[in-house]
Chain A
Amino acid sequence: MEEMAVMQDARRKTRRIKCLVWDLDNTLWEGVLLEDSNVRLKDRAAEAVKELDRRGILQSIASKNDYEATIGKLEELGLSEYFLLPQIHWNTKSSSIRTLQQALNIGMEAFAFIDDQPFEREEVAFVHAEVLCLEACPLDELLVLPELMPDIVTEDSRNRRLMYMSDLRRAAAEEEFKGPQEEFLASLDMVMSISSANKEDLQRVEELTLRTNQLNTTGYTYSFEELEELSRSPRHKLLIASLTDKYGAYGKIGLSLVEFQDDAWRLKLLLMSCRVMSRGVGSILLQHLMRSSKQEGTRFQAEYIPNDRNRMMYITFKFAGFREAFPFGDGGVILENDLSQVGEFPDYVTVQVID
């Protein structure tokens, strides 16, 4: 047990790359495109790109090349769909990575860059010290780098690229939309479904509790084994929320764990993905639980342990009518809601409860 915990800690400390940016000439393919249009992919390159995609690692390109010719070649090689927002121009590669960082909204430390030329790697490392710069290497070796090996590959990981592409289309639509925010949200035809977490969901649930950039009321993390027990426990309710809209799926974006105590339901964990906060759907899961608790006639309490990232969750609780009841644990608090004012779900989203 202790060994496993130590191993888990070590795994958490390896940085995880969320986006790999490729150079092309002499890195992804042999030769220089503008010198010889018949460049051939390096050994196992296509497999590497597809495998990384399967693992949920986003990929892009930073190449000093002619845009049309390059895109044409990527399409010919059947790989163009795997690269988000390819940066193909004659400016610095560090500027390409900055553009990607802003567009994809990922931390710079989650970027890796692979290029055969030391000059390019140094240029990028100089401007962005946090980026993992890699030499062009046999691609088999690339695939076993710990930084490129996620702990778990879930359905959401496999679809990550597609989800980002939907996000880009959505963001473009939002930019162009002329009208109030609520009308834009209504135009998305959002559907949120809430269901008890089943076996297939648990890996994604574990992933959500481990990812530190989620909005999380207590910061508790649970191993897969613990989650399995909880999902089968009659004293617990583990719910997972997914969201889709007309542009596609957002994936599983919310999680709640309720413990049925003697005189109250205790919300031990409420977690929302930051991605959906701007959709105004952050409190739907909470409202659903409050409604269920009211129907059962039980009291409803929630645990809150502040950290440097989760004040938004405290505000969510307060604005949903929770009041501080008593302190708890190390700097935490138990909040209680008298359930006198359980709000309605917002009109612009359809909520499906599958229980």
Chain B
Amino acid sequence: MPQIGEPAPSFSLPATDGSVHGPDGAAATVVVFTCNHCPYALAWHERIGAVAHDYSGQGVRVLAINPNDAGRYPRDSLEAMRARVEAGQFDAIPYLRDETQEVALAYDAKTTPDVFVLDAGGVLRYRGAPDADYEDPSQNAAYLRGALDAVLAEREPDPAQTTPVGCSIKWKPRSKPVD
């Protein structure tokens, strides 16, 4: 489980178009575990997309990862992910498939969404929710934006950690972490 201030796990995962992505030394990388069927992930989705848009000029990359067991939750299938991308819902954000759930396990992801911010050296600087209230769009992903502003200015985010809020990751039976 990565701790704030420690190197985050590296990974390479396929996107819906077959291209492969992972943390690559961008000025900051946002890794967000998300999915298609969770109302919390959907409620925060536009705010995270706005962050990707607003910070792209500052060298920030946003990587969305769907780790859910599509066998039990067909709405999280690769085909369903592809449909959302083709519908324009992931502009400038690669939507990655964590089929083995190994990346979600390595990050100890709990929910969709669960947001991690890495600095240019791959060190984890923030983990938690995008902001304080999924119901309030005016929150505008304030925790995430604050963390990015801090990382880009080489400061420590405050807060550096919040409690992720959302739907539990849908683990495959063999993947489910032991509490």
B is bound to A = no
Enumerate chain A interface residues (CB-CB to B < 8 A).
none
